Structure 1
Amino acid sequence: MTKPRVSAFSVLGLCALFTLSGCFGPPSPSPTGSASSPGSSGTATTTATPTSQASAPVTASPTATAPPSSVPASPPATAEPAPPGLPEQVAPLTVYYVAIDDNGISGPRIGCGDSLVATTTAPVRFTDQVGPSVGALLANKSRDVGMSGLVNVLYQSDLQYVGGELDGSTITIYLEGQFMLGGVCDIPRAKAQLEYTAMTAAGATSARVFVNGRPIDEVLSLK
């Protein structure tokens, strides 16, 4: 039995194969970004790895709203202070009565040829003179005014003063109640007594009188 020949070329080929196998071993591990373990002689290099994920957007927190205050935004309107009242004083009051058939000799001529005459009371304490003056006239329940010869035609009437107001030079007074007069000539006499007493007390030049909410002329026209 003859032995197979091994040619020189075969031997050379096998050697070359073994040589190449030694050149192409398993790949060496890739360097990592972590630091070398202690004891390593090389210097560790940290490589920052960029992240592919975008950063989450930052959302501004809403500003906290303060709770509504119980205090109003502006202070409540305050009432205007009331004007100071009239000063208190003590003085006589002026009240008018009638001089029958005097024909204007003793004072303003009124009615059926009569005169209107001013009289004064004892000193009275007051602030608003209109009310006390008209009140004094209405409170007199005597027909004759002392020994003066003057007459009060309102002595039987049941009237009360309830208020008054001055508008420029006109004084307006308000009465409640009923007239009780003695005849047609007493109508202008009663009206004149009330108007002149109110005008003098208020320092006015004209007067209006309302009785139970109606003008005096309308009320007296029924008498």
Structure 2
Amino acid sequence: MTRPGVSAFSVLGVCALIGLAGCFGPPAPAPTGTAAPTSTASPTASATSTASPTAPSSPSVAPTATATVPPPSSAPADPTPTGEPTFTGFPEQVARLTVYYVAIGDNGVSGPMIGCGDSLVATSTAPVRFTDQVGPSIGALLANKSRDVGLSGLVNALYQSDLTYLGGELAGSTITIYLSGQFMLGGVCDVPRAKAQLEYTAMAASGATSAEVFVNGRPIDEVLSLK
């Protein structure tokens, strides 16, 4: 049997196919032994980490301005002064005044009993305008220069005395009045009568429960002891 001949073109075709198969085969894997490490591949990151110092765990804080500012005060900027209020005087009013005279020999039936078995009896004046009731009341008593008080049967033991009211002060339940002048009395029994008239009239005007009387700077008991 005759074997068919192989032409030159057939040989060339086989060689061409072998060459194409080598070009389109699976790509060779990338070499790993010579790959550069990551740390050296990014020089910028490495430089940054070594150039910056490590931050402290507890950063120091500079003192603030509030450390030198004094704490705010609870008091107001312009506090109102405290203490007792200033007394500006009594309000003006119009009322009757109470003045005491003596019921001789009454033995305390008509009012408080005083020496020699007499009584003190309260009487009222006509309406008077005043701010401080003590001064007008004592003034009305001293201004009466009649022994007999109308037709009431009451007697004024001070009718001959020459006394002037100077002033008074109330301390607690005690009223103190100050007079100047001289007593002119009709006898021993006029001493407790005159004293009681002044004291009870002052207490009624001030609302006090006790009274002290000074005449020319001396206690009334000392002055009347010479009568």
State the TM bucket, normalised to the shorter chain: 0.5 to 0.7
Q: Give the CA deviation at 1:111.
A: 1.0
Paired residues for 1:147-162 under 5 Å: 147-162=151-166
Matched, 1:131 2:114: no
Matched, 1:209 2:213: yes
- Encode CA deviations 1:188-221: one digit per residue, 9 max, x unaligned: 0000000000001000000000000000000000
- Encode CA deviations 1:56-97: one digit per residue, 9 max, x unaligned: xxxxxxxxxxxxxxxxxxxxxxxx995322110000000000
Matched, 1:92 2:106: no
Q: TM-score, normalised on structure 1?
A: 0.63
Q: 2:178 aligns with which of 159, 174, 189?
A: 174
Paired residues for 1:77-116 under 5 Å: 82-116=86-120
* Root mean square deviation of aligned Cα: 1.5
Structure number with the higher helix fraction is 2
Alpha-carbon distance in 1 for matches of 2:85, 2:172: 23
- Encode CA deviations 1:137-169: one digit per residue, 9 max, x unaligned: 000000000000000010000000000000000
Structure 1 unpaired stretches of 5+: 1-79
Q: After TM superposition, which residue ranges in structure 1, 4 or more long, deviate above 4 angstroms?
A: none
Q: TM-score, normalised on structure 2?
A: 0.62
AA aligned opposite 1:188: P
Secondary structure in 2 aligned to 1:160?
strand
Q: Give the CA deviation at 1:172.
A: 0.2
Q: Between Structure 1 and Structure 2, how many residues are aligned?
A: 145
Matched, 1:218 2:222: yes
- Encode CA deviations 1:14-58: one digit per residue, 9 max, x unaligned: xxxxxxxxxxxxxxxxxxxxxxxxxxxxxxxxxxxxxxxxxxxxx
What's the counterpart of residue 195 of structure 2?
191
Q: Percent identity, aligned pairs only?
A: 86
Alpha-carbon distance in 1 for matches of 2:157, 2:197: 9
What's the counterpart of residue 79 of structure 2?
none
Secondary structure in 2 aligned to 1:165?
strand
AA aligned opposite 1:158: D
Alpha-carbon distance in 2 for matches of 1:214, 1:84: 29
Structure 2 unpaired stretches of 5+: 1-83
